[in-house]
Structure 1
Amino acid sequence: MVHYKTYLQGLLAFRRPLDDQMLLCHLPDEFGGWRPKAISPLIVADMKDLTLAPKLVSDAIYLKRDLESLLGTLYVLEGSTLGARILYRRANELGLDGTHGARHLHEQAASDGFVRFLQILDAAPDVDMNKVIGASDLAFQWAETAFKDNVNE
C-alpha cells in the first residue's frame, strides 16, 4: 500500500497543475464538444480514503496553448487511460475500487476518451507532428519529475 500512496502523491503533483490549466484553456474548434477529464479531484478523494494528505506542490508545469502543445500533452494524459486499466485491477487486489481509494483509476479505465482523442489527432489540420512529439516528451518529463519529487519524502 506504501507504493500506491507514493503513486497517488506523484500523480497528483503531475495532474493537478495540468488539470487546472486545461479547465481554463480554450480548446480549439477541432476538438468539437470533446473535453479531457480532470482526474485530480478524484485523486484527492482517493487520498482522503487512505488518510493521505495531499502535499503542496509548486505549479512548475506550464501548458502552452498552441495546438501542437495541447495535442502532445493530451496524448500523454488520455493515453494514461490504457495503463489505468491494468492499475485498476492491481488496486482491486489491494481492496480498492471505484468507490474507495481507486476512483481515478476506475474513471480512467472506463473512459473512451483516448479513442475520441485519437480521432481528433488524426483529423487535426496541418499540425507539425515533431512539435506534438516534443510536447508529449515534455509531458512525460513533467510526470517523471513529479514522481521523483514524491518518492521517499
Structure 2
Amino acid sequence: MQAKAREVYVPPVLQDLRAGTAELHIALEKRLPFFSEQLDANAFRRLMQAYYGFYRPLESALLASACIPADFDIAPRLKTPTLQRDLHALGESPEGLEHLPLCRQLPVIESSAACLGVLYVLEGATLGGQILRREIATRLSLDADNGAAFLDVYGAATGRRWRDFIEYLGARLMDVAERAAVVAAAQTTFSCFERWLESREVLA
C-alpha cells in the first residue's frame, strides 16, 4: 500500500492569485524576447530601458501610496536602483536616464491589498530572472557586473526572499473582498506591464 502524499496547505489568497494570474503570466512570458535570436546587446539595452520605465514609476507609486503594510520592509526589495546601475553599465548617461519615457498607465494602489497584489508580480519576476540570467550570460556575456544585475537582483537569496514574501502574504488575515483586491491588482500589474512593453516595441 502506497503512503499517502502529505498535502501541502496553500493559503486561499495564494490559490486565488495563482488561478487569477496564470493566463496573464504565461501570455506575457511567451512574448518576452530574452530567448529570441534577434536579442543582441542593443535590443537588451532597449528592453532594460523599458523595464526601468515601468519599475521606476510603479515603485514610486508604491512608496507614495501610504498603503504598504507597516510590518513589511519594502526598501530591500526595490529594483529601480539596480536597473539604474545596469543601464549606466550598458552605456546610458545620467542625462539619458532622466529622459527615458516612463509608464503612466499604472495599477491603482489604494489599499494594502492592492499593494500586495502589485508586489506579488514584482517579487515573482525575480524567480524567472534566474533562468534569464543564465541565458543572457551565455548569449551576451552580461552578468551582475556589467549590465544584467537586475536578472539576479537578490543573488543567492532569491529563493529565500520569495518564500519569505509568500509566507508573509499567506499569513495575513484577509476576507473575500481583500483577496479579490489582491488578485485584481496583480492582474492589472501584468496587463499594464505588457501594454507598456508593447508600446515600447520590445516584445517578441
Superposition TM-score tier, normalisation by shorter sequence: 0.7 to 0.9
What is residue 48 of structure 2 aligned with on the other side?
Answer: 8
Give the counterpart of 1:121 among 169, 178, 186: 169
* Structure 2 CA distance for partners of 1:130 and 1:148, relative to 1, 3 Å: same
Question: What do residues 54-97 of structure 1 show as CA deviations (whole Å, max 9, x unaligned)?
Answer: 41325432541312201111110000011110111112111111
Give the counterpart of 2:61 among 9, 13, 21: 21
What is residue 143 of structure 1 aligned with on the other side?
Answer: 193
In structure 2, how many angstroms separate the alpha carbons of the residues matched to 1:63 and 1:116? 25
Q: Kindly provide the amino acid, as one letter, of the partner of residue 45 in structure 2.
A: K
Matched, 1:98 2:144: yes
Q: CA deviation at 1:33?
A: 4.8
Contact 1:85 1:105 in 2 (8 A): yes
Q: Kindly provide the amino acid, as one letter, of the partner of residue 129 in structure 1.
A: R
TM-score for both structures, normalised by structure 1: 0.85
Contact 1:98 1:106 in 2 (8 A): yes
Identity across aligned pairs (percent)? 25
Tell me which stretches of 4 or more aligned residues in structure 1 moved more than 6 Å.
none
Q: CA deviation at 1:142?
A: 1.4
Contact 1:10 1:148 in 2 (8 A): no
The unaligned stretches of length 5 or more in structure 2 are 1-40
Paired residue total? 150
What is residue 65 of structure 1 aligned with on the other side?
Answer: 110
In structure 2, how many angstroms separate the alpha carbons of the residues matched to 1:132 and 1:33? 16
Give the 5 Å matches for 1:15-54.
15-26=55-66, 27-29=68-70, 32-35=71-74, 37-52=77-92, 53-54=96-97
